[in-house]
Amino acid sequence: MEDEKQESFFKKIIISIKDFEKYPMLAGKNWNVVLAYLLKLLAIFTAIVVIAFVYTTLKQMQNEATIRWV
C-alpha cells in the first residue's frame, strides 16, 4: 500500500517502459487504478497530438496568408 502512494504517475510510466521485472507489480493493480492510469496516458497522448496539429495548422495558415498577400 505504501509503494502505491510513493510511486508517481510518471514513475509508473518509466517502470512500464523499461523495467520488465516489475510488470507483475503493475499487473496486480485494481481495475480502477488501471483504468485511471490508461485514461491519464490517453489524455497526455491526446494533448500532444492536438498541440502538434494546432501548431502545424497555424504554421500552414500563416504560409498561405503570406503567399496571398505577396
pLDDT (tens digit per residue) in 13-42: 787 778 778 777 777 778 888 888 889 989
Q: What is the pTM of this model?
A: 0.62
Tell me: pLDDT of 70 over 70. Answer: no
Amino acid code (one letter) for 21: E
Q: What percent of the chain has pLDDT over 90?
A: 27
**Grid cell 520488465 in the structure block, residue:** 20
d(CA 56, CA 37): 29
d(CA 59, CA 47): 18
Averaged confidence pLDDT in the chain: 81
**Grid cell 505577396 in the structure block, residue:** 70
